[in-house]
């Protein structure tokens, strides 16, 4: 039996995508604050405590506060925004990704009713989808997992939408198949995938590799979504160039190198 609202959608754009959701009368979609782009007249926008799902409403006020407290602990908002079609005809509401990349539609019913994703990957979902926090239980993951330690879990039987930066690949892992990956490159994975953190090893790799001391391991079976350019990596590179003086082309060329590559400043 379908518990979540059934919504139609389309994804527009290439590198800078946005999502348009079509709502029938009385249908609702929920989104993280700041994801909203535009909507038709006849849609009511309401700020709600939690995600509006049955899970977040169970347990009374204490249950709501507990779920909200977990979200605050990882830097998420206490509230979400619900968009409901209160008219008698079909209406549209659109949401935009906050950085260049792709929007990933996920049918939770086809993915075992539950997926795990990076805590900043969730964009929006049909009402009824539960948006919670997934703490990785292994000690090594907790101590060294970095971006991958605290993640979000999406549960339900409706549509959910993730956003990722760079090129996005959906990869299906067979039973026992192992994938080693940078923690920031993981967008999400189905609940059947086993997630852990592994030490890179080797003193030269540790000191001079430049790739970090640990990486994630994902073991199948299950589906994994991978992004080629984690937004944290992009932000770090921009910050590096914005806060330091530009490195010269070489000690011999000096300012001449800047002139040769098109930068006329000396």
pLDDT per residue as tens digits for the range 5-30 = 888 999 999 878 999 999 999 999 99
pLDDT per residue as tens digits for the range 81-96 = 999 999 999 999 999 9
Which has the higher per-residue pLDDT, 105 or 135? 105
Q: At 75, is the pLDDT very low, low, confident or very high (cuts 50, 70, 90)? A: low
pLDDT per residue as tens digits for the range 137-148 = 554 544 554 444
Structure tokens at 86: 């209160």
Would the pTM count as exceeding 0.85?
no
- Residue 88 CA from chain centroid, whole number: 34
Q: Residue 70 pLDDT more than 60?
A: no
State in words which class domain 8-243 has. alpha beta
* Three-state SS at 133: strand
The predicted model gives 194-198 an average pLDDT of 86
Q: At 2, is the pLDDT very low, low, confident or very high (cuts 50, 70, 90)? A: low
- Residue 204 CA from chain centroid, whole number: 32
What was the pLDDT predicted at 220? 96
**Spans of all domains in the chain:** 8-243
Question: Mean of the per-residue pLDDT values for the chain?
Answer: 79
- Nearest of 193, 199, 200, 163 to residue 179 by alpha carbon: 193
């Amino acid at each position: 039996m379908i518990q979540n609202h059934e919504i139609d959608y389309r994804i527009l754009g290439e590198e800078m995508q946005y999502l348009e959701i079509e709502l029938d009368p009385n249908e609702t979609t929920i989104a993280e604050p700041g994801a909203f782009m535009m909507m038709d007249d006849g849609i009511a926008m309401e700020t709600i405590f939690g995600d509006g799902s049955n899970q977040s409403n169970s347990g009374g006020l204490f249950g709501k506060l507990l779920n909200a407290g977990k979200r605050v602990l990882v830097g998420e908002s206490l509230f979400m925004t619900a968009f409901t079609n209160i008219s008698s005809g079909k209406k549209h509401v659109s949401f935009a990704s906050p950085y260049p990349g792709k929007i990933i539609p996920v049918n939770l019913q086809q993915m075992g009713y539950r997926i795990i994703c990076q805590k900043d990957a969730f964009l929006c979902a049909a009402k009824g989808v539960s948006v919670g926090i997934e703490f990785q239980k292994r000690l090594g993951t907790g101590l060294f997992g970095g971006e991958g330690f605290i993640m979000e879990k999406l549960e339900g039987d409706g549509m959910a939408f993730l956003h990722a930066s760079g090129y996005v690949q959906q990869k299906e892992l067979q039973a026992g198949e192992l994938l080693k990956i940078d923690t920031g490159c993981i967008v999400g994975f189905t609940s059947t995938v086993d997630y852990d953190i592994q030490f890179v090893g080797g003193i030269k790799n540790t000191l001079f590799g430049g790739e970090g001391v640990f990486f994630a391991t994902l073991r199948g079976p299950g589906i994994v979504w991978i992004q080629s350019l984690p937004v944290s990596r992009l932000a770090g590179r921009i910050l590096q160039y914005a806060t330091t003086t530009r490195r010269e082309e070489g000690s011999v060329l000096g300012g001449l190198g800047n002139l040769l590559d098109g930068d006329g400043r000396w």
